[in-house]
Homo-oligomer: A and B are copies of this chain.
Amino acid sequence: MMSESEALTIIAGGGTVPAYVAAAAVKAGRPVFVVGIKGEADPAIAAFPHEFLDWGQLGRLDEILSSQRGRDLVFVGSVRTRPDFRGISLDLATMRSLKDILAIVIGGDNDVLSGAIRFFEKRGMRVIGAHEVATDLVVAAGPLGRARAGRAERRDVETALRAARAIGAIDAGQAAVAVNGRIVALEAAEGTDAMLERVAALKAARRVKWSGRAGVLGKCAKPQQDLRVDMPTIGVKTIEAAIGLDLAGIAVEAGRVMIVDRAEAIRRADAAGLFIIGEDSPIGAPW
């Protein structure tokens, strides 16, 4: 998939994944250059050839890209803050591409991301997915960790994934929660974390009820989602929220969802007896 000697440019937002991806590339014999977004990127990226860029230095990005020996570009990591352009003076070239560049970091929907990919491809780069560099970021089919879904829990695995798939098909969201056969929450603009907080509030108010460990969080990629720049993700925070809710498990679409900080996530799931499973789902086939 990648020519091993060609350099890889990584544009790094927050979290541990960018350094993880950089390390995976280096381990595969590939030189990397990491462009860290200031205020977002983890200091750990400094272990690799790198440069931190402020929002006001976006013009530098073009220079960096054209000086790279490789054409491959990876976007990875979270972007929490919006740029603050007060007091920043930009040259005309930067001004011209600013709108396109901003779309990458501000946006989140498919159109914006396709626009970003086109922007970099126009500059001769090829955008590839972080999971193509660090393949073990992706959840494969089968269980992760030690806990297993029982028979009653299998029904919630299927119900939650069917729901997540249905809302993906209408481009609304990626995740759903099913408890004892009933769909209790569907994700749209609020995101998975906020959806799980809502289920916790509904449970506290006894608007939804279950005793002991029950119910499943399902998460899928939308059929039309560009996995190179926008792959659904679960991680330690997701696992902790599921444990806090007394869910029985988490089921994700195999091959199309990332697990971040895998070892720690599985350790916590195992400690709590929460199952995590990747489920095969050929596009177009119902669960």
* Chain A contact residues, CB within 8 Å of chain B: 109, 162-163, 166-167, 169-173, 176, 182-190, 198, 202, 207-208
Contact = CB atoms under 8 A, between A and B. Distances in A.
Q: Which 4 residue pairs are nearest across A and B when measured between Cβ atoms?
A: A172-B183, A186-B186, A184-B189, A185-B188
A135 to B, nearest CB: 32
A42 to B, nearest CB: 24
Contacts of A176: 172, 188
A178 to B, nearest CB: 9
A179 to B, nearest CB: 9
A141 to B, nearest CB: 23
Contact of A183 (B170, B183, B202, B207): B170
Contacts of A190: 185, 198, 202, 207
A190 B166 CA distance: 19
23 contacts: A109-B182, A162-B170, A163-B172, A166-B166, A166-B170, A170-B183, A171-B183, A172-B176, A172-B186, A173-B183, A173-B186, A176-B188, A182-B189, A183-B188, A183-B189, A185-B188, A185-B189, A186-B187, A189-B202, A189-B207, A190-B198, A190-B207, A198-B198
Contacts of A169: 166
Contacts of A189: 182-185, 202, 207-208
A207 B182 CA distance: 28
A167 B256 CA distance: 23
Contacts of A170: 162-163, 166, 183
A189 B178 CA distance: 10
A202 B195 CA distance: 12
A138 B96 CA distance: 54
A169 B170 CA distance: 13
A198 to B, nearest CB: 6
